[in-house]
Copies of this chain bind each other. A is one copy, B any other.
Amino acid sequence: MTNAADIAEIYIAAWNETDVAARQAMIADTWSGDATYVDPMAAVEGHAGVDALIAGVQERFPGFRFALIGEPDGHGEHVRFSWGLGPDGADAPIKGTDYVRVEDGRLKSVTGFLDQIPG
């Protein structure tokens, strides 16, 4: 049984890590080497792909941070959680929900959906 809260926290922490070496180490620890990520705007594979994706989002939204919304929920190797992205301490203008499959304790696939984008 996967711990949904732990998975979600580790995942979000990497999205917020702006130190490149630290972020790459976190990704290597927590994602499978052949992991896949897909959302309405991007599709990447592997540690380098995930790192480049996160770096690109950090560059596009400087000073924004990801934060969990509500409680992560999981069963078996499946986890889902919702998040907001916005300036620290302010209401998040961008919100989404990610569905994650875990394999051998590491993120194997992530499928993201957007719940709110600025109108």
Contact = CB atoms under 8 A, between A and B. Distances in A.
A18 to B, nearest CB: 27
Nearest to A73: B113
Interface stretch (A26-34, A44-52, A60-68, A74-82): A74-82
A9 interface: no
Contact of A75 (B75, B101, B113): B113
Most B CB within 10 A of own CB, among A80, A97, A101, A113: A113
Contacts of A88: none
Nearest to A97: B80
Interface of A: 38-40, 43, 73, 75-76, 78, 80, 97, 99, 101, 111, 113
